[in-house]
Amino acid sequence: MSVANNFGKLQPLWDELATYDPLPACSCGFCLCDLGEQFQQKQDNDRLHEFLCGINKEKFDGLRSSLLSQDPSPILDRAYHAMLQEEQLQGSQASAISDVVLTMAVAPLPRGRGTGRGSAAGAGSVGRGRGGWSGSAPAPGRGCGLGPFARAAAAGADIGLNDKLTGKLFVSNLIIDSGASSHITGDLSILSDSIDISACRVGLPDGHLYSAVKRGNVYLSSHFVLRDVLYVPQFTCNLISVTQLTNSMNCVVKITKNVCIIQDPISRNLIGLGERRNGLYYFCSAPEAWLLHVNRKVSPDLWHRRLGHPSDRVVKALPFISSTCTLSNKACIVCHQTKHSRDSFVSSEHKATRCFELIHCHLWGPYNTMSSCSARYFITIVDDFSRAVWLFLFVDKNEVYKYFMQFCAMIDRQFQAKVQIVRSDNGTDFLCLREYFSCEGIIFQTSCVGTPQ
């Protein structure tokens, strides 16, 4: 990250922190210890350390150590300008080295031992023998050991084409001007999609009038485009109008003491920066972060779980899932459990070991249609062990006591057995039998309330 980008990233954070956590101030008016200045000095030192720690350690290690070791600590503006000058110096040295490498790469090559002489077919071309190799690199397995220079030339060519391939255009003298009403340029080479326009008068603060003859766009990056830029041949600089910029891109422009920040109003992402030089703010593009997108096939079951377990019809409505796909997991445990109003009952291990140890009784009726014996009610008695069922018909439900006594007498005479447990629902039909159950020692059990199943 460059020095200007690092400072532009920290400045809005410092401003926001100062808004929510301001420095304490004396409220009595009689403080003589200059506590406010001490707090301000501590804040400046903290910001200086934060700025220097975010700088590239490999490139600015010497200058950073020198600034941190000074006593008293330098002010933030002086450190910023020192770092900026060091960055510009290193950039000029790197460009000079690159020019030297490219010059050496296209230098004349010595002749080899072949049967013929080499002929240059282009910049850095090498020819040898009858089947001469022409190109920007020597033939495989041949040459005079100049492969590194050819590779350096190819790398330099790639560096020069990178900005054009990615749609970026570097303009070094773009000035952010809050007083200009339109974008203006005097360099026709940076203008794209230019069209001729009728003479448009452009006035300068000194009173001179010039005519704009063309209008076009300037592509600074993939997401930063200056539209409707006026071309004035007499201009020697390029102006970015803050008014036109905010109207066309709907962005936020913040001007501080050292930088000019251009942000997205919603996401607060950094769009562009302007660094202050000689009292003017020169535009420099913000670094771009590229994300890799992996096109991976996602199963419908995964989207079924992501969307909260909807039906198959909802999942198939997604545009990237075919309507012919079916969910492989039909028995989704989560779907079944969420549709239940309560947990399932625990499997009971208590079972009858012989006949008539446990019987289940239930009264049915009344029915609209009477039986042949004018009965509207009937009672079912089920043996838990043998699953045998006895059914008794009667006219009035008050006859439950009578038919239950007949059933007990029948099993006593026919099977020599006694009923031990009677289980029924919570109806009032068997209340008349409670006294009989107590006398005979029969256990009477009822089902839990609200569990008809």
Q: Can you tell me the distance from the alpha carbon of 227 to that of 143, in angstroms, rounded to the nearest whole number? A: 50
Could you report the per-residue pLDDT of 385-409, keeping only the tens digit for each?
999 999 999 999 889 999 999 999 9
Question: What pLDDT, on the 0 to 100 scale, is given for residue 343?
Answer: 74
User: What pLDDT was estimated at residue 413?
Assistant: 94
Chain Cα centroid distance, residue 374: 76
Tell me: the pLDDT tens digits for 6-39? 777 888 888 888 887 777 776 666 666 677 777 7
The answer to which of 39-48, 314-323, 379-388 has the lowest mean pLDDT is 314-323
pLDDT at 268 over 60: yes
pLDDT of residue 274 exceeding 70: yes
**Percent residues over pLDDT 70 in the chain:** 73
pLDDT of residue 401: 92
Is the Cβ–Cβ distance between 300 and 315 less than 8 Å? yes
User: Looking at residue 358, what is its pLDDT?
Assistant: 95
CB atoms within 10 A of CB 30: 5
Are 422 and 390 in contact by the 8 Å Cβ rule? The answer is no
Tell me what pLDDT residue 324 has: 59
Intra-chain end-to-end CA distance of the chain, in Å:
70
The pLDDT value recorded for residue 208 is 81
The class level of CATH for 174-285 reads mainly beta
Lowest mean pLDDT among 64-73, 290-299, 360-369: 290-299
For the segment 302-328, what is each residue's pLDDT rounded down to a tens digit? 888 888 888 888 888 887 776 556 666
How far is it, in rounded angstroms, from Cα 170 to Cα 272? 13
The pLDDT value recorded for residue 98 is 47
Return the pLDDT at 110.
45
- Write down the domain spans for the chain: 1-24+35-105+147-165, 174-285, 301-334, 358-446
Residues β-bridged to residue 444: 422
Lowest mean pLDDT among 124-138, 248-262, 344-358: 124-138
Lowest mean pLDDT among 71-85, 102-116, 432-446: 102-116
Q: Which pLDDT does position 156 carry in this prediction? A: 43
**Fold assignment, 358-446:** Nucleotidyltransferase; domain 5 (3.30.420)
Average pLDDT of span 113-133: 39
Q: What is the mean pLDDT of residues 261-283?
A: 86
SS (H, E, C) the chain: CCHHHHHHHHHHHHHHHHHHCCCCCCCCCCCCCCHHHHHHHHHHHHHHHHHHHCCCHHHHHHHHHHHHHCCCCCCHHHHHHHHHHHHHHHHHHHHHHHHHHHHHHCCCCCCCCCCCCCCCCCCCCCCCCCCCCCCCCCCCCCCCCCHHHHHHHHHHHHHHHHHHHCCCCCCCCEEEECCCCCCEECCHHHCEEEEEEEEEEEECCCCCEEEEEEEEEEECCCCCEEEEEEECCCCCCEEEEHHHHHHHHCCEEEECCCEEEEECCCCCCEEEEEEEECCEEEEEECCCCCCCCCCCCCCHHHHHHHCCCCCHHHHHCCCCCCCCCCCCCCCCHHHHHHCCCCCCCCCCCCCCCCCCCEEEEEEECCCCCCCCCCCCEEEEEEECCCCCEEEEEECCHHHHHHHHHHHHHHHHHHCCCCCCEEEECCCHHHHHHHHHHHHHCCEEEECCCCCCC
pLDDT at res. 279: 86
Rounded Cα–Cα distance for residues 24 and 28 (Å): 12
What mean pLDDT is predicted for residues 206-221? 85
Please check the confidence at residue 232 and state whether its pLDDT lies above 50.
Answer: yes
pLDDT band at 423 (very low <50, low <70, confident <90, very high): very high
Query: How many CA atoms lie within 13 Å of 248's alpha carbon, on the beta-carbon side?
Result: 17
Cβ pair 191, 174 in contact under 8 A? no
